[in-house]
Structure 1
Amino acid sequence: MDFDDTWHPATHPSGAVLPAVIALSEALPRKKKISGLDLLLAFNVGIEVQGRLLCFSSEAKNIPKKFHPPTVVGTMGSAAACAKLLALDQLKCKNTLAVAASYAGAPLANAATQTKPLHIGNAAKHGLEAACLASQGLQGSKQILDMESGIGAFYTDYNPQSLPTLQSYPWLLDQQDVAIKRFPAHLGTHWVADAASSARRKLVESSDNLLPVDKIEKVTLKVPEVKYVNRPSPSSEHEARHSFQFVACSALLDGNMSVQSFASENIHRAALQELLCKTELEHPPDNTPSFESLYCEVSVTLQDGSTISDRCDTFYGHWRKPLKKEDLEKKFQSNASSILPSEAIEGIIETVYNLEKVEDCSVLGTFLSGQRDREKLSFSEKLHFL
């Protein structure tokens, strides 16, 4: 659905790591309990490795052009997290990353197709598999992170450097540069949505709350030049999720974006198609394709010659303007409600907030699976049970 968290340097950090460490924690023998702290540390290691690798390339830090980042650094992060959870020694950790590197990489051309979600699933899977193979003795290049023909193969300006210790260098997650999406689409479109929604409030003044599409002459979007999010006529939900134009027109029509915005009946409605035909992009030279600094300006020119504009520099959900706790919980509850019972949903929320106190994190897997034999236990009862 393209609902994954995003950060700067640019990738989806959690999606490649969390499934792998949860799966691994469930697969380990019952006598080897994995605590919540164990899970958190492995998860943080997986995030940290991705960020460190991305920091070795200016090209990699911004919105990509060739490779989908989760398939490169996400695979390495999954591998590192799983190696940590398996408590592999230094040599086997190096071999884990070497094996993972040979699994890494997928072309960005498959963005806006059904194959894009496969990328992050494969990253989680391949990282886990790499750690398991290395634990069994499979070997690879010990310099995989240091060579142009190693991870450098994915970035033309890859320049690895010696890293300070964690004692003198803060964890990247301490900076909390993570954006949580309110609706499922490419992160760049979230600037567009907020700017368009603000412009709409200036346009719609009557009680019927309808956008006067027939009075609109032109819609201009000032956005960075990102080719794979420039889709003037999206025909599927995956293309719509990667379209500046679609998100702008949908937000202008409806005032907001949601999961339902990408349903087929909304993509193909007549008013939206009419508005898309009136929409054009501009790429100001100061608007660089960086999640740290990009902006969006939406200008609506009416037939009487007047223009209504609004600009978004930081959308709600960006790390500079993070979601409130209640909105984050509502997002999770909405997404989970179609597959999990309410007791499991509340159990997951409570478990996550108290994860560092959990002695056996298989409790999280129990909630996630929706198993009914223990789903009615409260968090405190479940801790006592464990």
Structure 2
Amino acid sequence: MSSIQKNPFADMPLNTALTDDAAKFIETVSFEDMPPNVLHIGTRCLLDGLGLYVAGSDHDCVNILASLAEDTGGKAEALLPGRSGSKVPAPVAARIMGTAGHAHDWDDSQVSHDPDHVYGLLTHPTIPALTGALVAAQMRGGVSGKEFMLAFMTGFEVETKISEWILPQLYKRGFHSSGVVGTFGAYAAAAKILNLHGDELRWGFGIAASLAAGIRVNFGTMTKPLHVGRACENGITAAILARAGYTADPAAFDGIWGFCAVFGGGVSPDKITQGFGKTWSIDNPGVSIKPYPCGVLTHPSADLMLKLVKENQIKSSDIARITLFAGSNILNPIRYPIAKNSLQAKFSLPAILAMIVINGKAGKKEFTDEFVGSAAMQSMQQRISTKFDPAIEAKGFDKMRSSIEIELTDGRTYRGDADERYRGGPDNPLTDGELEDKVASCTEGVLSVSETTRLIEFAWKILDLQDASLLMTLLQKNNSSY
């Protein structure tokens, strides 16, 4: 006996023209269309991203990819960060750069004011868009700093708008937003520099939509940063194929079989009226530049732990137990109760709190397998637990809320609430000086002090550069010779 089943998409806003709108935005947006604040924040994101490529360039997950790429060979199109002049095919370079940029989970986070979104878990917007622009600039050559920044901000805008507009089922179903939606950021930035137009632009979105992938089960492993690497590679590949005349559906974002329906169940009908580039997402709601190399959901708790330890002069030997209280938006994704290695530690509240207690900080040096696996770290993590708090849960997911209670061996107890204006967010941003300090910590052990100074200097004056591909030479060891 047959039955008629209701179309599951019948009540969803799928009759859209997002693909066409995105393509027209890429084709027509000009440098003059960007407000000064967009350029200022974009330059900060550029500097942050450049430092992160270097930070990840000597990570195991990047060394494996880079060694395989160098062994495989191919057309020498684009440089790799930290590899002293090594060039590989453009899509492969994008894969390695994207993985390096996300290797430490230190890259920026998109901000949303929508209480239906899980805060902080939209996309990490800079690395895909920046990688797309950097690789495409090397492919084409002679891309000015102004043209480069326009392409970077174009990719950033397309990526963040799609991430904001698509329904939150994308993340709730287990997709990694940066690995999926990041593909469009890399593609849009590359398409702008490679001067794609008309049907080429629309085909490119269709190709990118079929390549987008990444699932959250791999958080805490090497494959998590590879999600962003593949997003960058796929974005570049889509641009190259589309430019060569490779066809795809010209409306791949739209309809019941389009990207938005299949991955997220639709889009918000109210939000899509914002359009691309009318308000720029990098400025409003903004972007969070991370002070810690781990999941952003841990950051307010880390700052609270640091405050409690400093104000009360608490030593690790004084602590009997620590309890962190939070809602499901933090406790579910930050899922490792005891981190055994650095990758797990990026998604472990006991790990980052233990780092703060033991070393008074949680940076690149703390997020190593040696430090996380040390006896002191393993012992301290055993004294730290997390607890679901219904009162915090009831306040919603528009902020990252948590509380910490510390019980000392002598019976004294200290408790505090995390600052909802978390450090690094639009309401409490890192200063330019703090950002430069972060970049210096990223490059430590890879670039010399003078090389790092040069990298920072040229990032700030990006608009004056005649050829933006110079930025890639600054990511190489011994870059003073360029």
Query: Per the shorter chain, which TM-score range?
Result: 0.7 to 0.9
Aligned length: 364
Residue 90 of structure 1 and its aligned partner are, at CA, apart by 2.5
For residues 139 and 287 of structure 1, the distance between their equivalents in structure 2, rounded to whole angstroms, comes to: 49
Conserved 8 A contact 2:145-2:465: yes
Counterpart among 288, 294, 301 of residue 407 in structure 2: 301
> What residue is the counterpart of 1:379 in the other structure?
none
Contact in 2 for aligned 1:245/1:276 (Cα 8 Å): yes
Change (3 A) 1:265 1:370: closer
Report whether the alignment pairs 1:356 with 2:469: no
- Which structure carries more relative contact order (alpha carbon 8 Å, separation 6+)? 2
Please give the TM-score of this superposition, normalised by the length of structure 2. Answer: 0.70
Q: Residues 115-134 of structure 1 correspond to what in structure 2 (within 5 A)? A: 115-134=223-242
Of 316, 319, 335 in structure 1, the residue corresponding to residue 442 of structure 2 is: 335
| Matched-pair contact (CA < 8 Å) for 2:110–2:160 | no
Q: 2:192 aligns with which of 84, 90, 96?
A: 84
| Residue identity in the other structure for 2:455 | I
Q: What is the aligned counterpart of 1:99 among 201, 207, 224?
A: 207
The C-alpha deviation readout for 1:225-259, integer Å capped at 9, x for no partner, is 24231211111110011101111222123322121
Residue identity matched to 2:107: D
Equivalent runs, 1:183-194 vs 2, <5 Å = 183-194=292-303
**Which region of structure 1 is more displaced relative to structure 2, 153-162 or 89-98?**
153-162
Higher helix share: 2
The residue matched to 2:202 in structure 1 has which SS?
Answer: helix
Cα 1:279/1:346, change in 2 over 3 Å:
closer
The answer for unaligned runs of 5 or more in structure 2 is 1-103, 113-121
Could you tell me how far 1:157 is from its partner in structure 2?
4.9
Q: Distance in 1 between matches of 2:207 and 2:411?
A: 61
Farther off after superposition, 238-247 or 170-179: 170-179
Distance in 1 (CA, whole Å) between partners of 2:280 and 2:333 is: 32
Match of residue 179, structure 2, among 71, 83, 92? 71
CA shift, 1:286, in A, is 5.3
CA distance in 2, matches of 1:346, 1:373: 11
- Three-state SS of the structure 1 residue aligned to 2:211 is coil
Q: Which residue of the partner structure matches residue 248 of structure 1?
A: 353
Give the superposition deviation at 1:53: 0.8
- 1:220 paired residue number: 323
Q: Is the 8 A contact 2:447 2:478 kept in 1?
A: no
Which shifted more, 132-141 or 170-179?
Answer: 170-179
Cross-structure match for 1:381: none
Contact 2:167/2:268, CA 8 A, preserved across alignment = no
Q: 1:113 aligns to what?
A: 221
Whole-angstrom distance in 2 between the partners of 1:305 and 1:344: 50
Q: Superposed, which structure 2 residues align to 1:17-32 within 5 Å?
A: 17-28=129-140, 30=141
| Whole-angstrom distance in 2 between the partners of 1:241 and 1:49 | 28
The C-alpha deviation readout for 1:182-225, integer Å capped at 9, x for no partner, is 221111111121111112124426xxxx3334x52x31111232
Moved more, 88-97 or 366-375: 366-375
Residue range with higher mean Cα deviation, 16-25 or 273-282:
273-282
Query: TM-score, normalised on structure 1?
Result: 0.86
Distance in 1 separating the partners of 2:382 and 2:390: 25
Q: Relative to 1, partners in 2 of residues 1:343 and 1:300: Cα closer, same or farther, differing over 3 Å?
A: closer
Larger mean Cα displacement after TM superposition, 34-43 or 194-203: 194-203
Secondary structure of 1:102's partner? helix
Cα offset for 1:323? Answer: 0.9
8 Å CA contact retained: 1:54, 1:60 = no
Query: 1:384 maps to what in 2?
Result: none
User: What CA distance in whole angstroms lies between the structure 2 residues aligned with 1:119 and 1:236?
Assistant: 20
* Secondary structure of 2:213 counterpart: coil
Q: Report the counterpart of residue 51 of structure 1 in structure 2.
A: 160
CA gap of 1:270–1:370, structure 2 versus 1, over 3 A, is closer
Q: Is the 8 A contact 1:8 1:291 kept in 2?
A: no
Q: Which residue of 1 aligns with 2:427?
A: 320
Which runs of 5 or more residues in structure 1 are unaligned?
A: 376-386
Residue in structure 2 matched with residue 204 of structure 1 by the alignment: 313
The offset of 1:304, in angstroms, is 5.1
Identity %: 26
**What is the identity, as a one-letter code, of the residue corresponding to 1:192?**
S
Checking the alignment, whether the CA contact within 8 Å between 2:169 and 2:265 is kept in structure 1 is no
